[in-house]
Structure 1
Amino acid sequence: MTARLTPDDLDRAADILRAGGLVAFPTETVYGLGADATDARAIARIFAAKDRPRFNPLIVHVPDLDTALAHVTMDAAALSLARAFWPGPLTLVLPRRAGSRVADLAATGLPTLAVRVPAAPLARDLLFRTGRPVAAPSANPSGQVSPTTADHVLRSLGGRIDAVLDGGPATVGVESTILMPTPRGTHLLRPGGLPAETLEAHLATALLPPPAGSAPNAPGQQASHYAPRGRLRLNATAPEPDEVYLGFGPGPAGPTLSATGDLAEAAAALFARLQTLDAADAPRIAVAPIPDKGLGRAINDRLRRAAAPRP
């Protein structure tokens, strides 16, 4: 399936999902690899297609807040966040409601579920047509660069999945921010497309770090993740002779995340630039310093994990 999607295209994609197939589709953050979240065999196909570790939970996508409440319970803080920022690039890790039909494998056996309502109209249309919650991690092999276009998906997962819905480039470009509200406060499990400062202003309190020593209860918590084949050197002011330089703001000529130093533009461009350098087999990549504020926190999180030693 390609651009200029019709209602029939979306109906066929929904049929594939309900039949246990895998469909890649665009959200505002990145392209997700969707499967019926109530079907354990379909969920197992996601883990197999991505070579994803079975301990790494999936995010369950739903079309609206009412559907989310059929699967999770929300305290006052969680409900306030959901009402303020859904649809949007925010995932909430919440206690699973008794009677939820989401397969245990999607939550990797945890008593919590990671849920979100995406803002991309195509994604929400697909979710409404499917009529079931859809588990959807990023549509790429585990640990590699996330996809922000249909071509990125086809390049890495072509032949492993059943369909790709081409809705053009993802607009936000980095995955959702993940929060876990608890009685002690709200933990930031992963910075992402909704800045932490915006969330802290809404909550009128600081976000807490991830709970110490806990097993992964949401995606994006592995030390090595989002990595191209080439090695990354971060906070570089200039390239070394064997490096490609990925700039930000004024600096040496070449590929850049944003020539004007715009963090929203940089976030939207991050994975696309890394995908391009990966396709060109760049052996070493030097990345300019990125301010660690706003969306810069999400960009730096992805870059640090991409540069980490690989398993």
Structure 2
Amino acid sequence: MSGNVSQTHAARDGLDTAWTGDNNEWWDWYLTLADNGGDDSPLLELDEPPALPEPTADELEALLAEAYPVTPEQVAAFARDGFVKLQGVLPPAAVSRLRRLLTEHLAAGGRDRPAGRFTSDELMWTQSADIAAFVLSRRLGRIVADLLGAADVRVYHDNVLAKEPACGRTPWHFDDHHFPIDSQQVATVWMPLQQTPRQMGPLSFARGVDLHQLVDDVPFSTKDASYDRAVSGAFADAQVSVEDGPFELGEISVHSSLCFHTAGPNRTTAPRMVLATTYFADGAKVVPSPTLVSGEWQQFLPGAQPGEVIDTPMNPIVS
């Protein structure tokens, strides 16, 4: 199997062009590809999570430098299923601090956050040392390295993903379809910054790292929700097991770039805020031909050329 399984279908599926908008415009477009059923039920009333007393600088530094104990069973589950959920990776006080930092970051950038919007920003670690402490932490990087069986991992990019109240579904997809990294040793840490019940749209995973082979011949549409509907139907027909449970405060998930996943609508009155950071094994190359769904990949790998090993100041080793 090639390093990026979507490349062979790029031309067929209308993806072999570059994205010309910004990252939030990309998300605005991408969510139009999800099959939303037009749920008009009342939103679940939820308050913003209360601010908690934050850890001291010394306490936070010690926590983020400490490796999380990934077990052999979790490594095996990740290899088999394509994802794993890990409890207690950060204490509630640290999560509360991170939510405050990301909320302030979006406000400082003048981001409009209307109901129904999927608000996103990226590369925040390059603008804030406080955010970088989390994104570039050994705590998170070592988890990914252990799950991938890699000696070291580099950061690809961070994302704040805020599903505002009444925002719709995220379509079924796998990230190998998105990242212009010629390796399958790529994984994303998805860290909710509040308790995340099903009504808020937690990330959901199709169980099986090779499930992409089941839908490999489904044409990807850049114009409508036909791909999302077809993948959902194929998984239902094959009785694929889906993990769609809630997330507790401090719980994270890590999913492989080959893992198919989706997220439900946010049917609550509070924003669903997440820090999502993607890491890849040191030594990986840029794919020969990045596509439309790679978005603004050049800003994440500045100066790296197709076919070259990724080694830029924007992709430091973090494990």
Please indicate, yes or no, whether the TM-score normalized by the shorter chain is above 0.5.
no
Query: TM-score, length-normalised on structure 2?
Result: 0.27
Higher relative contact order (CA 8 A, sep 6+): 2
Query: TM-score, length-normalised on structure 1?
Result: 0.28
